[in-house]
Structure 1
C-alpha cells in the first residue's frame, strides 16, 4: 500500500488496462495534463458547465457542492461523470484536479467521491471513453498529498501504487551556462536568490526584480513561510506565482563579519563556505522535487560585497562537485551591464570547462546544446579533463 513519505512526490494506480489514477505533488500549471477541472464551490444545483482554452489546455469550471450530504455526493458524482463524457477526448485524456483549494470537504472525502465515479466509468462501457484515461489529483502540500494517497489506497482495491522509478545517479554534474539578462525573466523550473535578513524583497536589486515580476503574492508567501525568522543558511521554497518557474528558493546570507565568521581562518574561506552551502542546498531541494533546471544570480556579488572572482569560482566549483539524478541544467544569470561580473564568470567558465583529447579524437567536436556564448576559440593546455559540455560556438585547440 502506498505511503506519502516526504521523498515520495508521485504515485500511480491502475483501475484497469485503460484507466489510471495518480497523485502528484507539483504545480498544476507545469504538468503535462491537457484537461484541468478547476473547482469552485456553489450552493446551487444544475450549474452550467463552462470551459476555456488556456496555454494549450482546456480548463473546465467544475462546480463542487458546498454542503456535505448524500444529495451533494450524488450531485458531485453526476457533475464529474458529465465532465468526463462531454469534455475528455482521446487527445485530451490526461485529466487533472488540483485539490489544494478544496474546502467544506476534507481532501480525502472529495477524492473518494471522485474515485468512486471514475471507477464506475472504468467498469461500464461508454463509446466516448473507449480510450486510455488518466485522472490525476495534484497538490503542493504534503498533508494533502497523503490524504489523496489514502483515498486511492482505500478505493482502488487490491491494486498497489507504483512509485516513480528512480534513475541511477549520473557520473557527472549538470551542464552549466551563462545567460545574459534578468533573473526575473528566465524560464526554468527553479530560481534561487538570496534576500535580506528581514525577508523584504525590495531591499536587493535581484530580489526586487523578482518581486516586480512575480507579484506581491511572492512576498506574502515568503513572510508566511519564514515566520519572521530563519536560521542562517536555511533556504525557503516559495511558489513561483507570476514568474516563469515552479518554485523560488530564498535564503539569507550575510556580509563578512567576525560575528558570523567564527571558525574560519580567512574571509575568503567564509565567502566560499557561504556560497557553497547556499548553492548546494538549492540544488538538493531541486533534486528532491525532481526539477530539471535551476537558475542562480551571482550569489553575494551585490550588496553583500563578496569578491566577484571568489563568487564565480565557488559557484562553478560547487556545481562541478555536485551529483544528482534529475537536475541536468544550471544557469548563471548575469545582468549585461555588470561587465566586471560577466568577465569573471566567463573567466571561471573557461577555467572549469575542459575536455579530454581522447574525446576530441573520437568525435571531432563537443556537444554544445546548453550554451549560448558567441563564437570564440577556447585554448586549453595539454592536461585536460572532461567536466562540462563545451560552450556553444567554442572550438578546441590543444597547445
Structure 2
C-alpha cells in the first residue's frame, strides 16, 4: 500500500510519530539544522546509539542515500531514522541518491513496524538542494513506495517549503 501523505508546517522535533527522520550527516554525530535540533531535543541517548553504530556497522560513516534507526531519546517518537542526503550539484544529477533517502527511510520504518513517519525536507538546508526539486522527488518517491507505513508526514519549517510541497501534492 502507499502511505497517506500529510503536510505540517512546524518543528519536526515537536512531532508525535512512530519514527522521525533525521537529515543527518554521514558522521551520525550531530550537526546543524534538523540534525542538530534532533540531537539537542532528543538528548544523549541518540548520540550514544549513533556512536555505537559508528564503532560497529558504520566506521566510515553512513553512506549517502542510506538510512539507519536509533532510539528517539526524549522525542515523542519510538525511533529516529537517520538518512544522509546528497549535496546539491549543478554538474551531477544526484536525484536518485535523494530519492533513496526516502525509500530507505521507509524500508527501515517497515522493518521497525512504524506506521507514522515524520520527514523533513532532506538536503534542502545546508546541502543546498532547491526546495521545489526536493518536494518533487520526495512526494514522487513516497507516492510510489510500497510500504506498510500508513502516514508519511512532511514537517516543513517555513512557509516556502510548505508551499513547495503543497504544489506537488496538488
Q: Do they superpose with TM above 0.5?
A: yes
Q: Which runs of 5+ in 2 are unaligned?
A: none
Matches within 5 A, 1:136-147: none
Task: Give CA-to-partner distance per residue, 1:142-178, whole Å, 9 cap, x none.
Answer: xxxxxxxxxxxxxxxxxxxxxxxxxxxx3xx110010
Structure ranking higher on relative contact order (CA contacts 8 Å, 6+ apart): 2
Q: Which runs of 4+ in 1 moved over 6 A?
A: none
1:183 and 2:17 equivalent? no
Matches within 5 A, 1:217-366: 217-227=45-55, 228-230=59-61, 231-256=63-88, 267=92, 269-270=93-94, 272-324=95-147, 326-335=148-157, 338-350=158-170
Match of 1:330, SS state, is strand
Deviation at 1:257, TM superposition (A): 5.1
Which residue of the partner structure matches residue 16 of structure 1? Answer: none
Q: Which runs of 5+ in 1 are unaligned?
A: 1-169, 259-265, 351-399
Q: Which entry has the higher C-alpha Rg, 1 or 2?
A: 1
Match of 1:301, SS state, is coil
Match of 2:82, SS state, is strand
**Mapped partners of 1:237, 1:310: distance in 2:** 26
CA contact (8 A) 2:23 2:82 kept: yes
**Mapped partners of 2:155, 2:23: distance in 1:** 14
Which residue of the partner structure matches residue 365 of structure 1? Answer: none
Q: Which has the higher helix share?
A: 2
Match of 1:208, SS state, is helix
What is the CA RMSD across the aligned residues, in angstroms? 1.7
Deviation at 1:184, TM superposition (A): 0.4
Taking structure 2 as the reference length, the TM-score comes to: 0.89
CA contact (8 A) 1:222 1:236 kept: no
Taking structure 1 as the reference length, the TM-score comes to: 0.40
**Mapped partners of 1:240, 1:209: distance in 2:** 12
Match of 1:211, SS state, is helix
CA contact (8 A) 2:135 2:164 kept: yes
Deviation at 1:229, TM superposition (A): 2.0
